[in-house]
């Protein structure tokens, strides 16, 4: 089995530190690769790191028989077949907090630019037109900002907007502690009806897809602004275009789209391109050097800890266990297995049949998957790992010898 870490899509160089400290060779690729090349490079990977353009489907996992864990050096994991990874006992890690500040800042900048009508005035100036007018130009102070989704990004945006004197309202399906003077709305409709600016900060789920459909957009205040810098399938783009065309909305900012170019060589096409009162950006909400550095450091450390300690803390698809460092004189057995009665008994009987003693053990389950970490003292036969992997219900086992 190879010990190589393969990183795609120009993952930030800070990620190298954790792997170099573990003595692992690193293979870097500046971009997402064609499928055949991707599969070829994955064939010898111990760990792999991707961003949003590399698709890890079943075929990609098939091409990586030695892959122990996958790192998504980004926020989302939509590009990964998480069910396949789970079924094979391959933890998938991401960096859910690294770009929080970057997205919040872009959103706030979009609010200010749109409230002042800057996009249209900038376009006019480039054409030689001098539109020096206060028409449809407003301060953000005392305006109502409606945040849909009060998680990491939404709550930080709340703090920044409040500092500018905005009145912040939010709606979330789960109870959330308000920051500063922010107020919770009892329903999405309530938020839409009162907000001068509505901004979306929710994941893509069955409940949120197309959340801003034609009916929802129609409930917004006349002259309001809509911002989507979260997920591309949250907004009905045609309905948004119609609302802009009719003047029902004053402007919009969109960073994510239902269909995005696969590369810089593919043309970007959207019905929003004809509007000068719209800010369109190419999915760059988290694309700052600071965010990429933070994510690089975060995800690489999770991968390295899994490899050296078996820690699955922060994994999105497997049970989470943080077993800590391995004490001197012990070896650690990691075992992913089907979540069904009897496996732990079979595992411990297998250990008992050797000269080893169980010094510590932790078990967690998630859906149909179980994960048990056992610290063992004493000698183990050469075929011990083969015995564990052969147990009924076993998916994948690994020994860590400090």
Please report the pLDDT score of residue 264 as a whole number.
81
Known catalytic residue: 183? no
6: Cβ–Cβ under 8 A, 6 or more apart, which residues?
Answer: 27, 29, 41, 42, 44, 45, 47, 48, 49
* Residue in 27, 260, 320, 377 annotated catalytic: 260
Instruction: For the chain, 402 residues long, give each residue's pLDDT as a single digit of tens.
Output: 478 999 999 999 999 999 999 999 999 999 999 999 999 999 999 999 999 889 999 999 999 999 999 999 998 898 999 999 999 999 999 999 999 999 999 999 999 999 999 999 999 999 999 999 999 999 999 999 999 999 999 999 999 999 999 999 999 999 999 999 999 999 999 999 999 999 999 999 999 999 999 999 999 999 999 999 999 999 999 999 999 999 999 999 999 999 999 778 899 999 999 999 999 999 999 999 999 999 999 999 999 999 999 999 999 999 999 999 999 999 999 999 999 999 999 999 999 999 999 999 999 999 999 999 999 999 999 999 999 999 999 999 999 998
Whole-prediction pTM value? 0.86
Known catalytic residue: 364? no
* Residue in 101, 167, 231, 305 annotated catalytic: 231
Closest CA to 194 of 156, 144, 243, 247: 144
Instruction: Domain 1-98+288-317: give its CATH code.
Output: 3.40.50.720
CATH topology of domain 324-402: Alpha-Beta Plaits (3.30.70)
Closest CA to 146 of 179, 194, 104: 194
Query: Structure tokens of 164?
Result: 């500018």
36: Cβ–Cβ under 8 A, 6 or more apart, which residues?
Answer: none
Known catalytic residue: 320? no
Domains 1-98+288-317 and 100-280 share a fold: yes
Please report the pLDDT score of residue 169 as a whole number.
98
| 100-280 belongs to CATH 3.40.190.10 | no
Q: Where are the domains of the chain?
A: 1-98+288-317, 100-280, 324-402
* Residue in 39, 138, 283, 366 annotated catalytic: 283
């Amino acid at each position: 089995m190879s010990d190589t870490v393969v990183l795609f899509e120009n993952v930030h160089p800070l990620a190298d530190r954790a792997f170099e400290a573990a003595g692992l060779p690193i293979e870097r690729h500046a971009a997402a690769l064609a499928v055949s090349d991707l599969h070829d490079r994955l064939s010898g990977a111990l760990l792999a790191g991707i961003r949003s353009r590399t698709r890890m489907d079943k075929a990609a996992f098939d091409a990586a028989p030695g892959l122990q864990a996958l790192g998504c050096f980004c926020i989302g994991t939509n590009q990964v077949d998480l069910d396949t990874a789970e079924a094979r006992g391959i933890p998938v890690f991401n960096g859910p907090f690294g770009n929080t500040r970057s997205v919040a800042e872009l959103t706030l900048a979009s609010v200010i630019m749109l409230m002042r009508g800057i996009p249209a005035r900038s376009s006019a100036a480039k054409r030689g037109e001098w539109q020096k007018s206060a028409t449809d130009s407003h301060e953000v102070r005392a305006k109502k900002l409606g945040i849909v989704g009060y998680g990491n990004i939404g709550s930080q945006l709340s703090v920044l907007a409040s500092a500018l004197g905005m009145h912040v309202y939010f709606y979330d399906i789960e109870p959330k502690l308000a920051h500063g003077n922010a107020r919770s709305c009892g329903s999405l409709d309530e938020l839409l009806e009162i907000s001068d600016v509505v901004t979306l900060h929710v994941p893509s789920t069955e409940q949120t897809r197309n959340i801003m459909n034609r009916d929802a957009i129609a409930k917004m205040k006349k002259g309001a602004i809509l911002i989507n810098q979260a997920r591309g399938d949250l907004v009905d783009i045609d309905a948004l275009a119609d609302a802009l065309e009719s003047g029902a909305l004053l402007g919009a900012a969109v960073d994510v789209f239902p269909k995005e170019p696969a590369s810089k060589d593919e043309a970007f096409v959207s019905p929003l391109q004809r509007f000068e009162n719209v800010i369109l950006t190419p999915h760059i909400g988290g694309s700052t050097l600071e965010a990429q550095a933070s994510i690089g450091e975060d995800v690489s450390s999770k991968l390295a800890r899994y490899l050296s300690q078996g820690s699955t803390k922060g994994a999105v698809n497997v049970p989470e266990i943080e077993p800590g460092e391995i004490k001197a004189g012990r070896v650690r057995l990691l075992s992913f297995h089907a979540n069904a009665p009897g496996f732990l008994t079979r595992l411990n009987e297998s250990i008992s049949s050797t000269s080893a003693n169980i010094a510590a053990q932790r078990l967690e389950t998630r859906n149909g998957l179980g994960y048990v970490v056992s610290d063992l003292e004493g000698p183990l036969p050469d075929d011990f790992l083969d015995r564990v992997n052969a147990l009924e219900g076993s998916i994948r086992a690994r020994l860590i010898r400090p």
